[in-house]
Amino acid sequence: MLPQPCSRPPWLALRLLAVGAVLGCGLLIGHGGNSRACLKLVAGLPLGAAENGQTSLAGLEMFSRTGLTLALVAAAVLLAGTTASAAVFLSRLAGRSALALLGWMGRLLAFFPVIVLAWWALGWLVGEKGWPIASLLPFQPAPGRQTWEMLAASRLWLWMLPLWILVVPLLGLLVSEFADALRLRQDQPLRDALRARGVPRSWMHYRHIVPQIWPRMLDALERAGLLAMGYAVFVEEPFELRGWGAFFSHSLQTPSVPGIASAIYACGWMAAVWCGLAALIRRLTLPARHPAIAEPATPGAAVPTPAAGAGASPPAGATALLILTVTLLTTGFRPGDAWTFSHEWLEPLLPGLVADLREVGLACALALGLALLRGGIASVAADAARMPQLGMLELVEWAPLLAWAAGLAVVSGTHLPAWILLGTLGACGGAAQLRDRWRRLKNHPAVESARVVGASRFRAWRVHVLPALSRWLLGWVLQLAGVILLWLVLVRCLLPPAGSPSLADAIRHARDSILSDPWPVLLPGTVVAVVASALQQIGRWISGRAGLSSP
């Protein structure tokens, strides 16, 4: 779900701001705007009300709404990060298998659509528990009854509920990342040496292991924040929080091009501030020339890579996923007051799932083609001209891509199906990774050894590089398919109902009666999570076996 940590482009904050402005202006010009409107957008001035009364995000409102959303995202990342750290650090005591299982569970959680979580929480808390939601219905108690506890609790509850909902997918994501990072840094000789000197285990962990994985954790936190900006749209909308996400969602549903353009531009600001903050923390907590903040790798330079197969799914995770998938697909369960087992719930979802998977397949094929084309050209051109990397491909992976994708999907409407958009965006990240992988495999000692013993360049490439590259590509496509499935469903939830079936329709349908029965909304969400994480898990397993062993 997250890009490779080594591909962070320089001046990321400024690039995100610039791309946000370019996208916003592009949307305006594409819908009849002029240079004056673009200038207004960039200057943060109102663009005037659209025909439907929806205005653009500008001035003080832009500041307050983006500030609220950024605060929500920051708090969610902080909470998810600390909770994920606590879970991962505790589970390391149970061994590598426990870490692997935890990582798998994290991925399953990360693929659960956040919109489903938000609506289910709303339905369950309001409909079944009867807890108040102050953002939906403000309440003014009679004078004399207002106590500071009441005011403080009301304000706190207003924000804590959306915060925890936003935390859930981020927690899954970060647990998966942290567990992987920790597993890769379980340096047995170092551990034995420290133990021989009588160093306690906790000291060993916090003084030696954590500093090693901290750069990767920091990268993961930064990228989780960018992803959370997209998720904020789906959390703020049902709770009607007065943040950027609710405005964006309203603009998407209206739909209002000035609103969407200004929201995308404002999102660029948020992303820039967030990445600037991350850079500051990185500067304060990491050594000056740590590899994770080093300049992008120049062609031919050795790039630190995880050991072959290190990221692969361990048997425990794969087995658990397989069992869960088979159980869901063959028996089915119906959560609710009584947990009854039946097939009935799955049958209405199957047409939507099949239709979505068909579009995911098309998107993946498009992404693969574009990635091969763009990545191949980039690699060959870079090799030939020794030209410096501009980092434009990596930038797409480091952007608040979900928010941009939602905006572009709504604006393009019927002209450009969502799967084409998602496939194209996915291809950008794939091209960057393909280029890195190409360089890494080309400079691998096995290839050099083959050339030394007289193998031709093509033979060395066919025997050593091609099989590994093919496996990696297959793994990448499968992982991308999981992400595209999730995002396709999320974006479709914002679009008006289409003629073709989709899991988003099932979510929308269940949402209509969310207060009386909140449980049905979980079913399409569970299907998305299981199928997407299954694709991701298989992809990880194949990718993990795509490395070359040293001669």
| Token pair in block for residue 64 | 């307050």
Q: Is 519 in the site for other proteins (CB under 8 A)?
A: no
CA distances from 454 to 84, 448, 449, 535, 548 (A): 50, 10, 9, 40, 19
Rule CB under 8 A: is residue 161 a binding residue for other proteins? yes
Single residue of 46, 50, 164, 199 touching other proteins by CB under 8 A: 164
- The residues that bridge with 340 in the sheet, in sequence order, are 334
Extract the tokens encoding 271.
């992303």
Rg (CA), the chain: 24
Using rule CB under 8 A, residue 46 touches other proteins: no
Asked whether the beta carbons of 426 and 483 are under 8 A apart, the reply is: yes
- If the CB atoms of residues 178 and 398 are measured against other proteins, the closer one turns out to be 178
Binding-residue total with other proteins (CB under 8 A): 40
Helix axes 522-544, 503-512, angle to 10 degrees: 150
- Alpha-carbon distance of 457 to 452, in angstroms, equals 10
**DSSP code, position 388:** P
Q: Which of 18, 22, 50, 78 binds other proteins (CB under 8 A)?
A: 78
| Cβ nearer to other proteins, comparing 137 with 196 | 137
Indicate the SS3 state at residue 221: helix
Check binding of 83 to other proteins (CB under 8 A): yes
Q: Residue 316, Cα to own-chain centre: how many angstroms?
A: 24
Q: Applying CB under 8 A, which part among 204-212, 258-266, 306-314, 470-478 lies near other proteins?
A: 204-212
Between CA 105 and CA 99 the distance in angstroms is: 10
Contact between 362 and other proteins per CB under 8 A: no
Interacting stretch for other proteins, rule CB under 8 A, among 85-93, 343-351, 489-497, 525-533? 85-93
Interatomic CA distance for residues 119 and 522, integer angstroms: 9
* Contact letters for other proteins, residues 467-506 (x by CB under 8 A): ----------------------------------------
CB 37 within 8 A of CB 30: no
Question: How far, in Å, CA of 49 to CA of 55, rounded?
Answer: 4
Please identify, using beta-carbon distances, which residue of 327 and 513 lies nearer to other proteins.
513
Cα 6 from Cα 215, distance rounded (Å): 11
Q: In this chain, which of 309, 388, 515, 551 binds other proteins, going by CB under 8 A? A: 515
Rank residues 85 and 176 by Cβ distance to other proteins and give the closer one.
85
Residue 71 or 466 having the CB closest to other proteins: 71
Of 83 and 443, CB closest to other proteins: 83
Tokens 């489903």 correspond to 116
List 14, 94, 152, 452, residue binding other proteins (CB under 8 A) = 152
Query: Contacts for 302-305 with beta carbons within 8 Å, 24 or more apart?
Result: 302/443, 303/6, 303/436, 303/439, 303/440, 304/6, 305/440, 305/547
Site for other proteins (CB under 8 A): which residue of 79, 98, 190, 273?
79
* Span 87-106, contacts to other proteins by CB under 8 A: 89
Binding mask 275-294 for other proteins (x = CB under 8 A): --------------------
* Closest distance of CB 134 from other proteins, Å: 7
Look at residues 522, 436, 519, 518 and name the one whose alpha carbon lies nearest to residue 473: 436
CB 504 to other proteins: min, Å: 19
In the complex, the residues that contact other proteins under the rule CB under 8 A are 78-79, 82-83, 85-86, 89, 126-127, 130-134, 136-142, 145, 147, 149-150, 152-154, 156-157, 160-161, 163-164, 202-203, 206-207, 210, 515
